[in-house]
Amino acid sequence: MSDSLHIVCPHCTAVNRIPSARLGESPRCGKCHGELFTGHPVELDAAGFDKHVGRGDIPVLVDFWAPWCGPCKMMAPHFVQAAGQLEPRVRVAKVDTEAEQALGARFGIRSIPTLALFKGGREVARQAGAMGAADIVRWTQGHL
Ligand code: ZN
């Protein structure tokens, strides 16, 4: 493993090179100076998705959800809590499948919420159904 990682900025999608030893020291984006890890899931559109999944060196956990989905809303605060625990080892993100229908179709998302974990640009695990924060963290760590 190299001693620096490409981290995509959640605010401006610039690709930053961060020494892995300094990942936990609240690194900031060299371009927009925003925090690279905010403790909150990043809302991704198709371009943002491709940047984070394709260019970032850390795994990306994605919650495919929709505004009309009750279980998705119930899971949302748990997902935020999980983000706080999984960062900075994992980029935690959300895709609104209503607004980004092409992304949902591309990954064949049939039920929501669906969690999918991406590593090295490829999907490595998927789980449908709402989960609590502890289960989200455990499930993610089990696939890292
Ligand atoms: Zn930035």
* Tens-digit pLDDT profile for residues 86-144: 999 999 999 999 999 999 999 999 999 999 999 999 999 999 999 999 999 999 999 99
Taking the centre of ligand 1 as the mean of its atom positions, its distance from the CA of residue 135, in whole angstroms, is: 30
Q: Look at residue 64 and give its three-state secondary structure.
A: strand
Catalytic amino acids? 69, 72
Taking the centre of ligand 1 as the mean of its atom positions, its distance from the CA of residue 38, in whole angstroms, is: 12
Taking the centre of ligand 1 as the mean of its atom positions, its distance from the CA of residue 36, in whole angstroms, is: 7
So what's the pLDDT on residue 6?
97
Architecture per CATH, domain 39-142, reads as: 3-Layer(aba) Sandwich (3.40)
Residues across the chain: 144
Q: Is 86 exposed, middle or buried (0-12, 13-18, 19+ CB in 10 A)?
A: buried
So what's the pLDDT on residue 2?
62
Taking the centre of ligand 1 as the mean of its atom positions, its distance from the CA of residue 28, in whole angstroms, is: 8
So what's the pLDDT on residue 86?
98
So what's the pLDDT on residue 53?
98
Amino acid identity of 144? L
Taking the centre of ligand 1 as the mean of its atom positions, its distance from the CA of residue 52, in whole angstroms, is: 12
Q: Look at residue 49 and give its three-state secondary structure.
A: helix
Task: Say how many Å lie between the first and final Cα of the chain, rounded.
Answer: 14
Q: State percent of the chain over pLDDT 90.
A: 98
Tens digits of residue pLDDT in 15-55: 999 999 999 999 999 999 999 999 999 999 999 999 999 99
